[in-house]
Structure 1
């Protein structure tokens, strides 16, 4: 496994972040309708990136391999470029979010079984469920809490 470093994001990183986001979502969110993905993309780029504290994972060559976004002790986003999945990058970003940013909760799409397994294996339990996602779409969310 190559060495991964973490750093804060800048606005100049946003074009690469939206590429990582879209590639990751296409890999992990096969339940998401194309029109919903396309509707989310400008919201992520123009609003959501600015609303969170973004941490990037970068390869030795400087390529952004993944990122997390935390706001108010909640992990709002954690995405890994498909070519870098399974290399511990998500775990590094999650540990940083918990240890450095005080993150204790995350919402996961109920249909995203890989993400649910990832968080449950790292100490998160289901604290609740919403039948709709944040945009009011029928993609149920599980509200996960870090077990004390």
Structure 2
């Protein structure tokens, strides 16, 4: 399967430091089989999809082709996240604890990726980090932002898993 990884930072990243197909660990012992560049039209499509469909409704707005504004809503997202976590935890019972893709797996998946998206996030502004994160780490950082914080989208790459 294919999806995208977004470099999203609080400072504008120069194009020399954009996430690219060589930035992340790939292949053996990595979640990503391989990464690849995408064209500008596909980049714009996925940025729009991220902001308007994948991120929590009303928390962000796209203000230019590579800039989004955090509007607010962290408290509601945190409350919804906790409610979702409790709901998933309640489904874990002694008779279901060993099920292959049962409630323990669903809880683990939710904790890593509460937005339930195949999009991943790369938040290193210097381009030194060799891994991307699922949506929990991105949202954890967002919850520390003040409303009005601008976020800049650098590289957007394709990945296969």
Q: Determine if the TM-score, normalized by the shorter chain, exceeds 0.5.
A: no
Q: Which has the higher contact order (CA 8 A, sep 6+)?
A: 2
Which has the greater radius of gyration? 2
TM-score normalised according to structure 1 size: 0.29
Structure with bigger strand share is 1
Structure with bigger helix share is 1
